[in-house]
Every structure is written in C-alpha cells, then in structure tokens.
Amino acid sequence: MTEIGPSAFLGLAAVLFTLGLYGAVARRSAVMVLMSLELMAVAVNLNMVALSRFVTPGEMTGQFFAIFTMVVSAAEIGLGLALVLAIYRQTRSVELSAIDSLKG
Amino acid sequence: MSETVNGVVFVILAFASIGGAVGMLTTRNIIHAAFWLLEVMVAVGGLYLLLSAEFLAVVQILVYAGAISVLMLFAIMLTLRCREDSVCPVEISIGGGVLSAVFGTVMYVAVARYGDRIAEMPASVPDTAALGELLFTKWALPFEVASLVLLVALVGAVWWSREED
C-alpha cells in the first residue's frame, strides 16, 4: 500500500481548481460558468478538509470553514441561477456574449 | 502514532473526480455536463470519508449532489428553447488555457516544494458528535450568520426569478 500524504490531496485539489478555472474562463454558457465555479469551490473545500485532517484534527477548524464555504456557495449558486433565469427572460439567451447591454 | 490513507481508494476517487471534471469540460451537451459535475461531487464526498469527515461527506452528497445538481438541471431545462439548444460545440479558449496553465504550474511548484512540510496523518480524530458540539458552542455565532445568509439568498432568488407583471 502506498503512502498518501497531504501533498496528494493538495495536488488533486489544485488540478480540480485549475480545470474549474479553465471552464469558468473558456465556456460561453452562463450555466456552464456557474458549474465551473462550483468545481472551484469544491476544490477549495477539499483543500481545507485535508489540511484540517493533517494539521488540526482536534479543533476541526478546516471542517467548519468548509461547512461555511458550502453555505456561501449554495447561496451563490441559487442567486446565480435565478439571475440566469432573469437574464434569459430579457434576452432569450444564456450565452455570455449576448449579455452586452452595458458595453460602451 | 499515525494513520495512513488507503492508497488504492484514493487513486480511484482521484481518478473519478478528475475524470468527471474533464468530462464536464469536454462534453458538448450541457445536460451531460451537469451529470458529470454530479459525479465529481460524489467522488469528492468519498474523499471526505477518506479524511474521516463523515458529516461533511453526508452534507456534500445532500447539498451538492442532491440540491445543486437538481437546481442546475432545472435552470438548464428552463432555458432551453428546443432539444438542439443543449448541444453546442466546445470552444477552445487560448487565454483561458494560458491562464489555467500558469495557475496550475504555480500550484504544482507550491505543492511540490512545501507539501511535505506537513507531518503524517495524526491518529486521533473526534467523531461527528464532537463536531456538532463545537458547531453549537464555539461556532454558534458564525452558524447563525450562515443561516441568515441562506435566508437572504432564498428571498433574493425568489425575488429575482419571479415573473414581471
């Protein structure tokens, strides 16, 4: 059995965050961008839980931070999707390139 | 006294989560992307179990795999005019690729240099009961603020998505 240290978890979280970052920048659909943001939030949570397990297992500080991050990202995704629906009602599209009414 | 993480289980879960993320970014159908995201969330829940964070694993499955995936699918299906709308070509973004490549390199260097400064896994882990006790004593005020945040977000989401008349 191989030894799995904290670096493995940190590296996995970094890979997930990088993939989410690429998705958030590259995709044009607003819903896809929100999904990529969720991927990034999950990567951050994984980081915090791993560090909590390896550094402060007694206080579980990272776990509490992860709980509050989950609350914030759940609120963010609810508001984001409501915003997407409102924009869809105005422009009949969820493409980010269609949302340019503030462009000078 | 130290513990170890089961390497085989970790590799399987890591493969599942990275594969799910890659599948989400490369699929052309946005509904398939939502299901790939669900798979990533379940795999990360398994990783929380490996890290002996059972409560967080359950919350992860309930909130992300349950609620948020359903919310995503609802939003996708409410904003599709026809079946063909869900399929769009995967656009390659050079800027996004460069940005994430730079970020990934920096992260790799940081983890490779400083990741092994942390000692091995401590053995003593409090259980879910201890987590609940801490949550309602030491973290009671943040807990209440978090519930307020959720309430405001709920009201805001309903306000934004209602029909204008």
Identify the CATH number of the domain in which residue B14 sits: 1.20.120.1200
- B132 and B82 within one domain: no
Confidence class for position A2, pLDDT limits 50, 70, 90: low
- pLDDT for B2: 53
- Nearest CA to CA, how far is A99 from chain B (Å)? 15
- B81 and B19 within one domain: yes
Q: Do B131 and A7 touch (CB under 8 A)?
A: no
- B10 and B58 within one domain: yes
- B9 and B83 within one domain: yes
Q: Do B56 and A66 touch (CB under 8 A)?
A: yes
Find chain A residues with C-beta within 8 A of B48's C-beta.
46, 49
Indicate whether A3 pLDDT > 90.
Answer: no
- B143 and B74 within one domain: no
Task: Indicate the residue among B68, B90, B112 that finishes a domain.
Answer: B90
- DSSP-assigned states of every residue in A5-64: -HHHHHHHHHHHHHHHHHHHHH--BHHHHHHHHHHHHHHHHHHHHHHHHHT-TTT-HHHH
**Mean pLDDT, residues A60-66:** 90
**Mean pLDDT, residues A20-33:** 90
- pLDDT for B1: 39
Distance CA B116, CA B64 (A): 31
Task: Report which of B123, B103, B139, B2 is spatially closest to residue B52, judged by C-alpha positions.
Answer: B123
- pLDDT for B112: 85
Q: Domain total for chain B?
A: 2
Indicate whether A47 pLDDT > 50.
Answer: yes
- pLDDT for A29: 87
Distance CA B53, CA B59 (A): 10
In the numeric block, the tokens 């909590």 are attached to: A52
- B133 and B75 within one domain: no
Task: Report which of A47, A61, A53, A10 is spatially closest to residue B124, judged by C-alpha positions.
Answer: A53
Residues of chain B with pLDDT under 50: 1
Q: Which of B41, B50, B56 to mutate to test the interface with A (most CBs of A within 10 A)?
A: B56
- Nearest CA to CA, how far is A104 from chain B (Å)? 23
- B76 and B143 within one domain: no
Indicate whether A92 pLDDT > 90.
Answer: no
Residue B121: its H or E element: strand B121-122
* Domain extent for B165: 128-165
The residue ranges of every structural domain in chain A are: 28-98
Task: Indicate the residue among B90, B119, B147 that finishes a domain.
Answer: B90
ipTM value greater than 0.85: yes
- pLDDT for B90: 75
Distance CA B68, CA B157 (A): 14
